[in-house]
């Protein structure tokens, strides 16, 4: 059987859909505390995004521990349990190849806070106000 060819647009939509499915699977595994690790089980971890490579072979999961838990130790615990998580994702995803998982801390919330502080600065607020004082 000939391999099906996808257009660039169809391929990118497929990558996004599979990434979202992987995110849901990981979120479910973490919420149900199916990872047998004390650090991971004790923490509430949000999987904010999963980015896949165009060939669907590699996935980077961006995670954020809730309630101020230690981000570094949680990332390290997830990396130690990567084999189990990959196996579970492979079973539930149903693709020919399961993506290799990498875990990274999600820094988008920190960046949003930094931008919010910049916008709250009186100098910036004056510029955004629109009144020109000379």
* 3-state SS assignment for residue 4: coil
Query: Looking at residue 134, what is its pLDDT?
Result: 47
Query: Looking at residue 9, what is its pLDDT?
Result: 55
Query: Looking at residue 13, what is its pLDDT?
Result: 87
Tokens of 57: 């072979």
Those residues of the chain that have pLDDT short of 70 are 1-11, 68, 130-134
Helix orientation angle between 8-31 and 82-93, rounded to the nearest 10 degrees: 120
Name the percent of the chain in helix, strand, coil, to the closest 5.
55, 15, 30
Domains of the chain are 8-106 (3.30.300.20)
Query: Looking at residue 101, what is its pLDDT?
Result: 95
Query: Looking at residue 57, what is its pLDDT?
Result: 92
- The pTM assigned to this predicted structure is 0.75
DSSP 119: H
* 3-state SS assignment for residue 67: coil
């Amino acid at each position: 059987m000939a391999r099906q060819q996808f257009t660039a647009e169809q391929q990118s939509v497929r990558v996004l859909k599979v990434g979202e499915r992987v995110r849901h699977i990981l979120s479910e595994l973490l919420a149900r505390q199916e990872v047998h690790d004390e650090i991971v089980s004790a923490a509430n971890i949000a999987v904010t995004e999963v980015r896949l490579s165009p060939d669907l072979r590699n996935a980077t999961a961006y995670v954020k521990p809730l309630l101020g838990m230690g981000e570094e130790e949680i990332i390290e615990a997830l990396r130690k349990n990567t084999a189990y998580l990959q196996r579970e994702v492979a079973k539930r995803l149903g693709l020919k190849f399961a993506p290799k998982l990498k875990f990274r801390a999600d820094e988008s919330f920190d960046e949003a806070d930094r931008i919010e502080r910049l916008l709250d600065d009186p100098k910036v607020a004056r510029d955004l106000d629109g009144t020109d004082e000379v």
